């Protein structure tokens, strides 16, 4: 289904008013944005095996390399452990970078300076490390960048799996993954917004019924896809 078809489905329940087309388009996009901020994201937003190249400065330095996040990045599919990886040779073993928070990563690679008081005497402990550029080992996910440790010695093409925002429905007529796999969820939720603004109780009731069944189906399929192929065991990474 494309966007204009979705618009017409909603318009048909609110009096076929063509003056509402822009409002309906905006409602569809608002719903898409809301769903992409949700705790549960669908499989069709996953970008699998996406190349993520990193290139060191010249000359290469051990200072961590900051690389901009991919366009439309939401979060990783493996939220806690991460899955940024690369292969030195193809075919060959896959090497996963360890995902860390900023403080432990900085302390691990560049030492730390600890100050404490002991009987009114300040004691300073300095732990120095001497790192040089090398293969990527650790990364820290920041708000808009990925911080790679240590600074790479050469260019690498890493690989990543992550959720990404879908194509926008604003502008020219398009289709996207939401309108392919969950069209009635978008139609129902957007229809509710439009019908509520119009105080059209009959349309509100109609879209509410569709929204409940569509959301139930969407959650069920999304959770099932998430669970498929995984082995569950105590203490085991999923």
Show Cβ contacts of residue 185 under 8 Å, excluding neighbours closer than 6 positions: 35, 178, 211, 214, 215, 217, 218
The reported pTM is 0.85
Query: What's residue 116's pLDDT?
Result: 60
For residue 23, pLDDT beyond 60 = yes
Query: What's residue 125's pLDDT?
Result: 61
DSSP result, 159-191? EEEEEEPPPP-SSS----HHHHH-HHHHHHHHH
The ranges assigned to domains in the chain are 3-42+182-227, 47-163
Question: In the predicted model, what is the mean pLDDT of the chain?
Answer: 90
Name the CA radius of gyration of the chain, rounded. 24
Select from 166, 194, 183, 193 the least CA-distant residue to 47: 166
Give the integer Cα–Cα distance in Å for 222 and 44: 9
Helices (H), the chain: 3-11, 21-36, 102-110, 177-181, 183-198, 201-227
CA distances from 170 to 32, 44, 64, 211 (A): 11, 20, 38, 22
User: How many CB atoms are closer than 10 A to CB 86?
Assistant: 20
Determine the average pLDDT of the residues in 63-88: 94
Q: pLDDT-based confidence at 113, cuts 50/70/90? A: low
Query: What's residue 219's pLDDT?
Result: 93
Query: What's residue 238's pLDDT?
Result: 46
What would the two tokens of residue 167 be? Answer: 């194509």
Query: What's residue 234's pLDDT?
Result: 44
């Amino acid at each position: 289904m494309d966007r204009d078809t979705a618009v017409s489905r909603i318009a048909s329940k609110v009096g076929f008013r063509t003056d509402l087309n822009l409002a309906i388009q905006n409602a569809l996009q608002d719903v898409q944005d809301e769903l992409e901020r949700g705790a549960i994201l669908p499989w069709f937003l996953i970008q699998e095996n996406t190349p993520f190249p990193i290139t060191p400065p010249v000359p290469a330095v051990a200072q961590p390399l900051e690389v901009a996040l991919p366009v439309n990045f939401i979060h990783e599919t493996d939220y806690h452990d991460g899955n940024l990886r690369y292969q030195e040779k193809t075919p060959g073993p896959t090497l996963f970078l360890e995902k860390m928070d900023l403080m432990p990563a900085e302390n691990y690679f560049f030492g730390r300076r600890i100050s404490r008081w002991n009987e009114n005497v300040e004691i300073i402990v300095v732990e120095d490390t001497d790192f040089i550029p090398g293969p990527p080992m650790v990364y820290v996910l920041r708000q808009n960048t990925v911080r790679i440790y240590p600074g790479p010695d050469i260019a690498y093409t890493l690989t990543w799996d992550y959720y990404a925002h879908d194509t926008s429905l604003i502008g020219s007529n398009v289709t996207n993954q939401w309108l392919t796999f969950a069209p009635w969820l978008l139609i129902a939720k957007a229809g509710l917004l439009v019908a509520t603004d119009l105080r059209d109780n009959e349309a509100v009731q109609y879209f509410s019924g569709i929204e409940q069944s569509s959301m139930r189906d969407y959650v069920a399929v999304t959770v099932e896809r998430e669970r498929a192929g995984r082995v569950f065991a105590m203490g085991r990474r999923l």
